[in-house]
A and B are shown apart, each in its own frame.
Chain A
């Protein structure tokens, strides 16, 4: 599949990336929203204020010294008296400028916080309204048997839209329609709507089951329901119809090579993913080992995205079933494949490791970090539906999302209060490309976004990026290995009936 050409430079002012820290309506965490340019402005004002304060302090001591000198000098030139007078005036201006810098900085920060809380309140309100709508739809579906149709239509649409291999005339029609109206899918509003829909699936379920409106709130807050449970429900229903089956998985190394140097930027990381579509063997996993004498080996693990959205399980573990099982916080085949590859590559529970994932790979990276089995030094995801995977606060998380990309939105709102989420709008000032139905999800665009993030001066972004950029520092040799994973048994052999039969034996 050809990578997209870089989109034309926007005609308007550079908007920069947007940094968020924390969760949405149900995240419960502190939320900060600001464009990078605004945060950089705050940083610059803070530095200027401090510089002016120090300068004023030095001028005060210089004046004290000058006064002392003047009092004991035999003869003071007139120019020296003028200099002292002008220095006093400069001191006054320095104090005024310092106060002004502090006031402006505080004002900008207050505006950012107010913007954040407004966004937060709007999101909470929207969530409440959507939940009522979802509950009503659930009651309707209870009557007309809509859930199965929704599951099948969802799988069909995803398959049509993303792989461009429509399984039916309906798929072709849907794809043609969406391609001729690119702003429908490639739109931040659509992304918000999908995020809400993902978060409100439980409201739908409650309505369908005839439970009272609002019960999902209680259950969600208690951790009983939420996006993961909704996803598990969808998998459970689909399993009944022979779809989205999980299987065992095998993994083997296809090649090893010395790559050269570890990544020193986010752009480097974004360009290190294997491409199962383009690579002849279809490798989905790459593991880089950093060898330094006298130190334990460090590892960067790169995990590719979904290869097929076919709801019928085949041999490909990076499929729709793994997507949904992963969003359900389960143990999808792709996750188990990466675990197996890491074990074979020599990653132990004490090896320092950074997980990098694109799309489903980001979900798997988050699940691995959340497992507690590894010495994780960082998680980097691009366009990943991983918002609901709870990662320990001690692990730095950087999630990169294009604002028009609907894939991350399918996992609902972020649950990690410490995760740094960086967003960039792609098509504000240019036409939406028509060669792909969901162009904002393309890795090529994420590579462009990564290069933009590298230029970010925001304290939050630098705080998580700099340790990642120096993760491989001092490496003497980089051993890279590529791995291909396959499902080893047809889904039918381990379906629920067989599992029950085995259990009885």
Chain B
């Protein structure tokens, strides 16, 4: 971060390192969210029944889909960052 603080322009090598770090962070975030999402029940086991329960089940399914979409995007962003890091490294 020295370059950022001093206002100097980043070289290709420093940019590659920065992008690689972003890729790792994004991947770690994805893994953490995925793991937490796995602890959510996917099947109703509480014995709770009725319209409120069905609405809750529907919302849970939506939450699963939404979280899945977020983790897929995080995976994609991590892959792109890794690719960008590789490209920046090549150009350095």
6 tightest A-B CB contacts, nearest first: A90-B73, A93-B70, A83-B80, A37-B46, A80-B84, A79-B84
Complex: how many Å from CA A72 to CA B39?
42
Q: What 0/1 readout, one digit per residue, does chain A (45-73) give for beta carbons within 8 Å of chain B?
A: 10110011001001100100110110011
Nearest chain A CB to B3 CB, angstrom units: 7
Residues of B within 8 Å of A45, CB to CB, are 40
Nearest B-chain residue to A90, judged by Cβ: B73
Nearest chain B CB to A202 CB, angstrom units: 35
Q: Which of A37, A58, A74 contacts B25 (CB 8 A)?
A: A58
Q: B48 touching A100 by the CB < 8 A rule?
A: no
Q: What 0/1 readout, one digit per residue, does chain A (90-133) give for beta carbons within 8 Å of chain B?
A: 10011011001101100110010000000000000000000000
Q: Which of B7, B12, B40, B62 has the most CB atoms of chain A within a 10 A radius of its CB?
A: B40
Complex: how many Å from CA A77 to CA B85?
8
A contact patch SS: helix
Q: B12 touching A74 by the CB < 8 A rule?
A: yes
A89 located at the interface, meaning its Cβ lies under 8 Å from any Cβ of chain B in the complex:
yes
A82 located at the interface, meaning its Cβ lies under 8 Å from any Cβ of chain B in the complex:
yes
Q: B73 touching A86 by the CB < 8 A rule?
A: yes
Nearest B-chain residue to A50, judged by Cβ: B36
Q: A48 touching B39 by the CB < 8 A rule?
A: yes
Q: Which of A15, A68, A103, A111 contacts B4 (CB 8 A)?
A: A68
Listed A/B pairs (17) with beta-carbon separation below 8 Å = A35-B46, A35-B48, A36-B46, A47-B39, A48-B36, A52-B33, A52-B36, A58-B25, A59-B26, A69-B4, A75-B12, A79-B80, A80-B81, A83-B78, A86-B76, A87-B26, A111-B52
Residues of A within 8 Å of B25, CB to CB, are 58, 62
Complex: how many Å from CA A101 to CA B56?
11
Nearest chain A CB to B17 CB, angstrom units: 10
Q: What 0/1 readout, one digit per residue, does chain B (39-76) give for beta carbons within 8 Å of chain A?
A: 11101111110001101100110110011011001101
Q: Which of A36, A66, A103 contacts B22 (CB 8 A)?
A: A66
Complex: how many Å from CA A65 to CA B9?
14
Complex: how many Å from CA A62 to CA B28?
13
Complex: how many Å from CA A505 to CA B43?
74
Residues of A within 8 Å of B11, CB to CB, are 74
Nearest chain A CB to B68 CB, angstrom units: 9
A13 located at the interface, meaning its Cβ lies under 8 Å from any Cβ of chain B in the complex:
yes
A41 located at the interface, meaning its Cβ lies under 8 Å from any Cβ of chain B in the complex:
yes
Q: B40 touching A48 by the CB < 8 A rule?
A: yes
Nearest chain B CB to A94 CB, angstrom units: 5
Known A59-B29, A68-B4, A93-B70: A76·B15 in contact at CB below 8 Å: yes
Extra contacts, 5 of them, besides A34-B46, A80-B88, A82-B84 (Cβ < 8 A), are A13-B45, A36-B46, A73-B15, A75-B91, A79-B80
Q: Which of B37, B43, B67 has the most CB atoms of chain A within a 10 A radius of its CB?
A: B67
Complex: how many Å from CA A78 to CA B91?
13
Residues of A within 8 Å of B41, CB to CB, are 37, 40-41, 44
Q: Size range of the interface on A?
A: 35 or more
Q: B9 touching A72 by the CB < 8 A rule?
A: yes
Complex: how many Å from CA A28 to CA B68?
45
Complex: how many Å from CA A68 to CA B10?
10
Complex: how many Å from CA A104 to CA B69?
18
Complex: how many Å from CA A65 to CA B36?
26
A444 located at the interface, meaning its Cβ lies under 8 Å from any Cβ of chain B in the complex:
no
Known A35-B46, A37-B41: A93·B56 in contact at CB below 8 Å: no
Residues of A within 8 Å of B29, CB to CB, are 55, 58-59
Q: B47 touching A96 by the CB < 8 A rule?
A: no
Q: A79 touching B83 by the CB < 8 A rule?
A: yes
A136 located at the interface, meaning its Cβ lies under 8 Å from any Cβ of chain B in the complex:
no
Q: A13 touching B44 by the CB < 8 A rule?
A: yes
Residues of A within 8 Å of B26, CB to CB, are 59, 62, 87
A282 located at the interface, meaning its Cβ lies under 8 Å from any Cβ of chain B in the complex:
no
A352 located at the interface, meaning its Cβ lies under 8 Å from any Cβ of chain B in the complex:
no
Complex: how many Å from CA A89 to CA B11?
28
Q: B67 touching A108 by the CB < 8 A rule?
A: no
Q: B10 touching A69 by the CB < 8 A rule?
A: yes
A223 located at the interface, meaning its Cβ lies under 8 Å from any Cβ of chain B in the complex:
no
Residues of A within 8 Å of B63, CB to CB, are 48, 97, 100-101, 104
Complex: how many Å from CA A51 to CA B67?
11
Nearest chain B CB to A182 CB, angstrom units: 23
